[in-house]
Amino acid sequence: MPMIRVPVCLGDRAYDVMIGSGLLRAEEHWSDLPRASAAVLVTNVTVAPLYAAAVQTQLKNRFAKVHLVTLPDGEHHKTWQTLNLIFDQLLGHECDRKTVLVALGGGVIGDMTGFAAACYMRGVPFVQVPTTLLAQVDSSVGGKTAINHPLGKNMIGAFYQPLRVFCDVDTLQTLPPREVAAGLAEVIKYGPIADAAFLGWLEDHIDDLVALKPDALMHAVRRSCEIKAAVVAADEREGGLRAILNFGHTFGHAIEAGLGFGVWLHGEAVAAGMVMAADLSERLGLMPVGFQVRLSALLQRAGLPVLGPKLPVDEYMQHMRVDKKAEGGDIRFVLIDRIGSAVVRPAPEALVRQTLEACSA
């Protein structure tokens, strides 16, 4: 299976997303990382037994010292306290500003390692090695790094680009079905917001993706990364266009915060959030009736929830008011105005409340 490079064109911060099979064990792809006296590999207790040794082998060919930081697993550990475990190791080993951090794991590990890299000595280089589908198609690309706060998801963070992203699709074979489904939510979002043909391809191949067929996975990861790379290159810091990547996320983040981080996986919350956003798009007259049903059918085939939890509507509204897209007290939603095109705009609160009542159970 050939290796694919997807460039993220950001001038002097440009880098490649490398997609292929066996990348974790292919020395030639690691040999041009910058020289430094040390590398720090950050992973978690679930991923470490599976892949840490292979990545350590590659790093030891390049760095005199390789330190391992193994964090607890789960969204509810995406906190200051856990982030400090990374800083403890960096300071304890007297790591300098050329030290390379390597994030090996899913979105939580990638976000926290990237944020640590952005902060330590005001910025050290880091590499993303995402091992979940969600991280490969979304969170590892684009330089968003963050931790959670009890009042809001990803509210404390920085834009900080990696040196490189290694997407080894072989790592997806060890994912439990629930994690596969969660990743597929982020794959599916790219169709409505940017590529009608890709949405059709997903409807034709969703069963192959659920079954983790390598050719289907390669295409899905590649197309997702191509779309995200193009959006990030046009709007690195989410001044406008990049916000479309948050389709379903305003509702989804409210679900995660309302239930408690980690009760639903991020992709599960985004799936239900996309159905809500589709419903709101129809209520506003942006999309014809039937779009929500079409999207829901695809999400259900992927094994994802299509109704949010029955939280009080006022609680949903409160969590959405602290969403990063909110402006001047107005909640702004990513909505679809035609398949392959998204807009970011506020909506009348009465319609939002109708959507929340109709799309939760």
Kindly list the strands in the beta sheet with 165-168, ordered across the sheet, starting from the edge strand earlier in the chain. 4-8, 15-20, 165-168, 126-130, 100-105, 38-44, 65-71
Using the structure block, give the residue that is written with the tokens 């970011």. 344
Q: Active site residue: 226, 236, 238, 282, which one?
A: 238
Is 132 part of any known ligand binding site?
yes
Active site residue 246: yes
Is 131 part of any known ligand binding site?
yes
Q: Active site residue: 186, 236, 268, 282, which one?
A: 186
Is 109 part of any known ligand binding site?
yes
Q: In the numeric block, which tokens belong to residue 152? A: 């809001």
Is 235 part of any known ligand binding site?
no
Is 79 part of any known ligand binding site?
no
Q: Is the dihedral of CA 250, 157, 99, 164 positive or negative?
A: positive
Is 58 part of any known ligand binding site?
no
**CA–CA dist 45, 68 (Å, integer):** 11
Using the structure block, give the residue that is written with the tokens 């899905």. 220
Active site residue 84: no
Is 76 part of any known ligand binding site?
yes
**CA–CA dist 185, 229 (Å, integer):** 18
Is 57 part of any known ligand binding site?
no
**Residue 32's CB: how many other CB atoms inside 10 A?**
10
Active site residue 179: no
Q: Is the dihedral of CA 40, 42, 46, 47 positive or negative?
A: negative
Closest CA to 198 of 225, 163, 173, 180: 225
Is 110 part of any known ligand binding site?
yes
Is 186 part of any known ligand binding site?
yes
Active site residue 144: yes
Is 329 part of any known ligand binding site?
no
Is 172 part of any known ligand binding site?
yes
DSSP state of 85: H
Q: Active site residue: 44, 148, 154, 246, which one?
A: 246
In Å, the largest CA–CA distance within the chain is 61
DSSP state of 13: G
Active site residue 253: yes
Residue 10, Cβ density class (10 Å: 0-12 exposed, 13-18 middle, ≥19 buried): middle
124: left (phi over 0), alpha (psi -120 to 50) or beta: beta
Q: Active site residue: 67, 164, 242, 283, which one?
A: 242
- The helix/strand/coil state of 218 is helix
Active site residue 27: no
Q: In the numeric block, which tokens belong to residue 335? A: 């909505």
Active site residue 148: no
The answer to whether the beta carbons of residues 186 and 194 sit under 8 Å apart is no
Is 285 part of any known ligand binding site?
no
Active site residue 310: no
Is 249 part of any known ligand binding site?
yes
Is 357 part of any known ligand binding site?
no
Is 29 part of any known ligand binding site?
no
Is 174 part of any known ligand binding site?
yes
Is 75 part of any known ligand binding site?
yes
Q: Active site residue: 67, 253, 283, 332, which one?
A: 253
The answer to whether the beta carbons of residues 271 and 305 sit under 8 Å apart is yes
Residues making up the binding site for NAD(+): 73-78, 107-111, 131-132, 144, 153, 171-174
Query: What are the catalytic residues?
Result: 122, 144, 186, 228, 238, 242, 246, 249, 253, 266
* Binding site as annotated, residues: 73-78, 107-111, 131-132, 144, 153, 171-174, 186, 249, 266
Binding site per annotation, positions for Zn(2+): 186, 249, 266
